[in-house]
Amino acid sequence: MKVIIPVAGLGSRLKPHTHTVPKPLLDVAGRPILEYIIEDALKLDPSEIIFVVGHMKETIKKYILTHYPQINCSFVYQKTRDGDGSAIRLALEKIDHEEDLFILFGDTLVDFDIKFSLDSYKKSDAVIFCMEVEDPVHYGIVNVKENMEIYQVEEKPENPKSNLALIGAYYFKSILQVKHLLNEFYQKKETVKGEYKLVQVIEKYAKQRDTSIKASPVKKWFDCGRIEVLLEANKYFLKLKSKGEPIMKGTSIILPPSFVSQSAIIENSVIGPYASIGEGAKITDSIVKNSIICPKVKIENLILTDSLLGKDVIVHGRPSKINIGEKSEISLN
C-alpha cells in the first residue's frame, strides 16, 4: 500500500502562527499534528509514504527526514494550489503498478482504529471515512444505504439527507483507477469551483454499479484549520493520554489532563487543566489552562486561558486570552 499525505496548504486561518511554522507542525497535546498522522499511516505498513508539499516545504521535509529516517518516503511539490485532487494526481504521476492507496490529509486529526476499519471492509473497492456532525450544511456529506454503501456525495447541501461528513481520510483498492480518473478530470478540465477535487473520484465510484464504496464512521475528527479547533483537539487528545491526580512540581501544581515538557520550568504556578507546555518554556507566577504553549515561551504574572503562544514568545502582565506568533514580546502592566 502507498500512503499519500498532502501538506501543501498555507494555513491562512492560523496566521500569524503559519507565517513561521507550517500548519502540520503546530503542536497538539505536546506533539506536532503531522506526527499523529504519520503514526496512523505507519500502522498500515506502507511500501511508501508520499508527502505533497508546498508552503514551507523545506521545513516539513527536514522534520520528516530527521524524526522518521527509517521510513521510505518521497516528496512532491505542488506549485499551483488548484485542489486536493490535483495534489493527489501529482503524487501518482510516476506510479505505474497496481497497489492499494490510502490518503490522509495533513491537517486532519482522527481518533480511529485505522487497520480494524479497513479489515472490516476487505471486499470494498473504496472506504471513505466520515463522522456524524451536528451541522451537515457546512460540510461535504455522503449519503448511504443501510449497509453503509455510499450512493451519493453532496457538498454543503441545503437539505441534507445525512449527517455523515467527509473528514479527509480515504482508502482505494486500485491506485491506478484513482490515477486514471484524476487524469481524466484534468484532461477534460472538469473542476469543482475551479479546483480539481478528490470528491470527484468518490462521486464517480458511487455512480458505478459494479463498484463497492463504503462509509466508515470514526470516533472523532478535527479539521485543524482554526485556533479554536486546535484547542479543542488539544483538549481531546490530552484526555486520551493524560489521566491521574494533580501533580506537585516544586511550588507549582499540574492539573490533569495536561502535558508539560520535562525541560519546561514551572515556578509558583498552576498549569491546567488542558494545558500543553512545550520544551524549554518558563512559566512563573501564573495560571495557564486550556492553552497551547510552544517551546521556549516565557510567561510571567499571567492568568491565561484559551490561548496559543508561538515559539520564543515573551509575555508579561495579566491578559486572559491572547493569540500571538513566534518571537513576539508583549508587556501588559
Section 67-82 average pLDDT: 93
Same domain, 185 and 51: yes
pLDDT in the model for residue 14: 86
Same domain, 86 and 203: yes
Question: Looking at the predicted structure, is the pLDDT value of residue 330 above 80?
Answer: no
Same domain, 55 and 172: yes
Q: Is 20 within a domain? A: yes
CATH number at residue 179: 3.90.550.10
Same domain, 279 and 156: no
Per DSSP, the three-state class of 55 is coil
Q: 117 near 17, Cβ under 8 Å?
A: no
pLDDT in the model for residue 97: 92
Question: Looking at the predicted structure, is the pLDDT value of residue 323 above 90?
Answer: no
pLDDT in the model for residue 320: 65
Question: Looking at the predicted structure, is the pLDDT value of residue 253 above 70?
Answer: yes
Final residue of a structural domain among 203, 228, 253: 228
Query: Which secondary-structure segment (H or E) carries 144?
Result: strand 140-144
Structure confidence at residue 273 as a pLDDT band (50, 70, 90): very high
Average pLDDT, rounded, for the chain: 91
| Residues above pLDDT 90, as percent of the chain | 71
Same domain, 267 and 306: yes
> What length is written for the chain?
333
Same domain, 23 and 118: yes
Question: Looking at the predicted structure, is the pLDDT value of residue 293 above 90?
Answer: yes
pLDDT in the model for residue 290: 96
Look up the domain containing 278 and give its range: 242-331
Q: Is 224 within a domain? A: yes
Same domain, 186 and 303: no
Section 212-237 average pLDDT: 92
> Total domain count for the chain?
2
Which residues touch 212 (CB under 8 Å, ≥6 apart)? 123, 124, 125, 126, 149
Final residue of a structural domain among 228, 250, 267: 228
Dist. CA 25–CA 5, nearest whole Å? 13
Q: Is 145 within a domain? A: yes
Same domain, 179 and 301: no
Dist. CA 319–CA 287, nearest whole Å? 11
Count of other CB atoms within 10 angstroms of residue 314 = 17
Q: What is the pTM of this model?
A: 0.91
pLDDT in the model for residue 63: 96
Q: 303 near 286, Cβ under 8 Å?
A: yes
Q: Is 26 within a domain? A: yes
Dist. CA 180–CA 10, nearest whole Å? 28
CATH number at residue 267: 2.160.10.10
Question: Looking at the predicted structure, is the pLDDT value of residue 318 above 80?
Answer: no
Q: Is 236 within a domain? A: no
pLDDT in the model for residue 333: 62
Structure confidence at residue 119 as a pLDDT band (50, 70, 90): confident
Same domain, 131 and 269: no
Question: Looking at the predicted structure, is the pLDDT value of residue 18 above 90?
Answer: no
